[in-house]
Chains A and B, each alone.
Chain A
Amino acid sequence: MISVNQKWVSPNRLKGNLINVLECKSISKWYGETAVLNNVNFDLAQNEIHAIVGENGAGKSTLVKIISGLVPVDVGSIKFEGHDRTFAHIREIQNSGVALIHQEPRLFPDLSVLENVCVDHQIREKNKRFNWKKAEEETKELLAELGCSFSVHSPVKALSVADQQMVDIVSALRKKLKLLIVDEPTASLTPSEVQRLFATIRKLNASGVAIVFIGHRLEEVLEISTRITVLKDGEVVAVKKSSETTEDELIRLMVGRNIAASTTNSKSASSRVSLKVSELESPGFVSGVSFEVKQGEILGIGGLVGAGRSELLETIFGLRKRTAGEVISTTHGSIKSVKQAISAKVALVPEDRAHNGLFLNRSINENLVITNLNLSSKGGKRNFGKEKVVGQELIEKFRVKLSSASQLVRELSGGNQQKVSLAKWLKQEVEILLIDEPSRGVDVGSKSEIHQILNDAAAAGMSVVMVSSDMRELIELSHRIIVMRNGRIAGELSGSEISEEAVLRLASGLTTAGRGN
């Protein structure tokens, strides 16, 4: 810990004058004809953790990409430590001590931890070979300081997302870090992993690294930051001290309208069981899982990342091979394959929508109709006119923000992508919806809309099985919660038993007695 402090104390801090490390003046950026950023000012003092919040598409990610040199700025100026860096090359910016940690860690899955950390190391002295031994020592030291216990030689693809993020941070630390930008780092982390990350961020900040933090979970943002800039539609609407603001105020500023922070849940479901899962087994991920879902019920599945929740959904849907157990839809019989699942009106909305849920390089409309071709085609021939009608209906119903229905899905923000991936299933009469992390990486506005959609669907008689790491979402939306741990059901909570603490205790194994056992 001492070494952390010694290594990253910057000269400015020693002198005691808190000048701005970073000053961005009237930044503007257009993509085509849409202004993503409009006249944005942003500054950052040495000892500050400055958060940026805003809805998806507000321009947060673009702003930090501009700061870190990934995207060129159209208008405006950027000064870093007093030097003009407006048009600097990405490598120059990185070498001056700026690092950007993305939402999803940008690592090299085939390389080991050590290789990932060192790959962009600059050899300064000529004719000097890179010292792997020394690099290994230093990397081990840094990992130990951050409380990581994995081997530096294990391939990165074998690590959990949280551990991968730590590798990403250590990669940044290997250089003389002065400014660390973390873009939505907590989206896929469990609460304890979030705390470890925050401890790391605070430690770095205390040792003189300025931090820019982008986050969607406002309680986390308030916890970690000292100052908050609120962006809306590419413009700064407010800069607040974290100690002087509240979640409600931030939400109001972000969306410019009042959102019901918690959707009311009637918590009523019919008594008719629609899906029966018994003794489901998928080696290594799911073992002996049994439960029932009633019609019109939202069943939440809680647990830590890696507890087998996503794998459970995949096994139910027939994507993952099962070795034992049964999945029975009470109206359509046994489900063994994806094909049977679909004909039994089961739908799966996966977590990783970019890879599994959407065709990123196709238009919004095509993505929407792909699951509904039976409504817009005849005898195997597409009817483009009908497709447009079907698509338009869904776009309006789900309030997808777009410039045209022929826009590529790739160009949409995370929240809108999620809406498309939900919408394409909900046109048909889906009876059982399996949904994985419905609001991962989604802004507050879209999130409450997605929640509303799920509530409406349940009220209309759909059974929803929802995996979520967002505790609040899980508790507010679910009628009943099953908590998983190590591939098994650790317990079941319903009614008044449901609380954040109860879920956490089951997930981490503190309480073993649960009704589900």
Chain B
Amino acid sequence: MAVKVNSKISYIFKKREFGIFLFILILLAIFGSIEPRFFRSDNLSAILSSVGILMVVGAGQTLVIVTRNIDLSVGSTLGMAAMVMGMVARSRPDFPIMGLILIAMVVGGICGLINGFLVSFGKIPSIIATLGTLAIFRGAVFLVSDNVQIDPEDVPKDIISLATTSPIGIPWLLIFALLAIVLVWFVSSQTLLGKRIYAVGSNPEGAISRGLSFNRITIMVFVFIGVLAGLGGVLYTARYATINPADVGRGLEFDVISAVVIGGTNIFGGSGTALGTALGCFLIGILSNGLTVVGVSPFWKACATGFLILLAVAIDNLVRRRQEENFLLAIRNQRVAK
């Protein structure tokens, strides 16, 4: 019976991820048949680069949403990290690349720490707290940069090569993204810490009464997403080679949260997988690129993206609800049979 129930559960989750996968294939087929240039290698690598940036930040957002929180400030955090790193690189062209990456991650981590404190000890709902810091961090980007952008000639070649060079056939940018996803998968499925993160999202009161350190876990996930957004800042710089205070990371929260939710993470906390998020990022990345390539006007593109997100989630909810009912029914029948 144990085996049967188990395989049934994994079946549901696999089913969900399989559904997203199918949806991706359908999108690829549609875009490819309308515009053959969609499959040109430069376009595919453009897709992969944007998916990579989404995935790095999405990996962090998954854990944040699992704890019943949300981080709206990821775009500004990414911008802040990229800007500080870019300014250091501009003033000290010989600064080692590892040092630059570290700086970006630390800046991101500090932003995350601020969010974490506001939400845990400040008791401000995360949607409000990070809405505030979304504006504050963006303002800070303008302040520290004096509204002067970092030009491509000031960005170290080593950074730019992260998006182009590849040690094992895929560029560094994607390797970082996959590492972030694997890290979240490992933590969430293999460690006690991961189970605690899910427990806090699944039943906050229960977590407190079992003596789990609620605040520490909240701060931890916010610092984690901050650090990853910092890394995202590095990847953004690698891809676009320009850091404009008004543009860097703007609107990223929309794509990231969409990807995570499409990937099956429950917005009410407690469940969600790294694999789902990865697939969700692919879906969003392919969709936004494909609509541009086939020549949909930017205004229609925004509507279409939003519409497809709602459609995907609605279909998925319907399917999932039916499956969950059947699953509970199966368990019930087993019990009755006993």
Contact = CB atoms under 8 A, between A and B. Distances in A.
Contact of A108 (B9, B198, B266, B338): B198
Given A91-B211, A119-B210, A158-B331, A106 B205 contact: yes
A80 to B, nearest CB: 15
Interface string A102-117: 1000111111000110
Contacts of B192: 118-119, 121, 123, 130
A106 B329 contact: no
B198 to A, nearest CB: 6
B5 interface: yes
A154 interface: yes
B5 A151 contact: yes
Contacts of B209: 70, 90, 100, 102, 106
A121 B208 CA distance: 14
A346 B6 CA distance: 42
A123 B195 CA distance: 14
A151 B6 contact: yes
Given A108-B203, A119-B192, A155 B270 contact: no
Given A108-B199, A111-B198, A486 B270 contact: no
A283 B206 CA distance: 33
A171 B195 contact: no
Given A119-B199, A120-B211, A109 B336 contact: no
Interface in A259-283: 283
Contact of B210 (A120, A151, A283): A120
Contacts of B205: 106
Given A91-B211, A120-B211, A151-B6, A158 B199 contact: no
Nearest to B327: A158
B328 A106 contact: no
Interface residues of A, number: 34
B211 A151 contact: no
Nearest to B213: A91
A152 B5 CA distance: 11
B174 to A, nearest CB: 29
Contact of A90 (B206, B211, B329): B211
Interface string B319-337: 0000001011101100110
Nearest to A172: B210
B329 A284 contact: yes
Contacts of B206: 106-108
Interface in A158-172: 158, 160, 171
A100 B211 CA distance: 11
Contacts of A102: 209
Contacts of B328: 158
Interface string A136-170: 00000000000001011111001010000000000
Nearest to A90: B211
B318 interface: no
Contacts of A90: 208-209, 211
Nearest to B194: A115
A111 B191 CA distance: 13
Interface string A62-105: 00000000100000000000000000001100110000101000
A191 interface: no
Contacts of A107: 203, 206
Given A119-B192, A119-B210, A158-B328, A110 B271 contact: yes
A306 interface: yes
A149 B334 CA distance: 12
A115 B335 contact: no
B195 A118 contact: yes
Contacts of B98: none
A154 B5 contact: yes
B2 A119 contact: no
Interface string B293-334: 000000000000000000000000000000001011101100
Given A106-B203, A106-B210, 10 more contacts: A108-B199, A108-B270, A110-B266, A111-B195, A115-B198, A118-B192, A119-B192, A130-B191, A149-B338, A160-B335
27 contacts: A70-B208, A90-B211, A91-B213, A94-B211, A100-B209, A106-B209, A106-B210, A108-B198, A108-B199, A109-B270, A110-B270, A110-B271, A111-B202, A118-B192, A119-B192, A119-B199, A120-B210, A120-B212, A153-B2, A153-B9, A158-B5, A160-B335, A283-B329, A284-B325, A284-B329, A284-B332, A486-B336
When A and B form their complex, which 9 residue pairs have the shortest distance between CB atoms, in order from nearest?
A151-B2, A106-B206, A110-B270, A108-B202, A91-B211, A110-B202, A108-B199, A284-B329, A94-B211
